[in-house]
Amino acid sequence: MAKSESRIGTAITGLTVAILLAFVVVPEIKKWQARRALDQAMKEFEASSAAALDHSNRNQPAKSRRTRDATDAREQASRPRAGERCIGGSVVLVRIKDGVPSYQQVLEQGRPVRCEGNSRQ
């Protein structure tokens, strides 16, 4: 009778171990693998972000110079050119010949160039 009881005990122990493995150990292993994969992905993302930021910082002086150049070009384009004045909201070219001024309205694409104060619009 002792042999059958030990077989039943062994079977119960084996079944308990199998249940523990299936419901406790295997899910923990899967969680560990997922955490490790997530950590690896985060490291790769941080490395690529750092590389992109470094690249952006290296190009920052050139980018700010281009922005400054574009701003300067817009300001230069808004200033009246030599011999031009703003009269009545329109840019007028003033020419003086033999001490007598002549005025000619400045046109771009057939339309008068507008101005205000000392800047073209």
Instruction: Give the integer Cα–Cα distance in Å for 57 and 87.
Output: 47
Confidence (pTM):
0.38
Render pLDDT for 23-80 as a digit per residue (tens, 0 to 9): 888 888 888 898 899 889 888 888 888 877 776 666 667 777 787 878 777 777 767 7
By CB atoms closer than 10 A (0-12, 13-18, 19+), residue 93 is middle
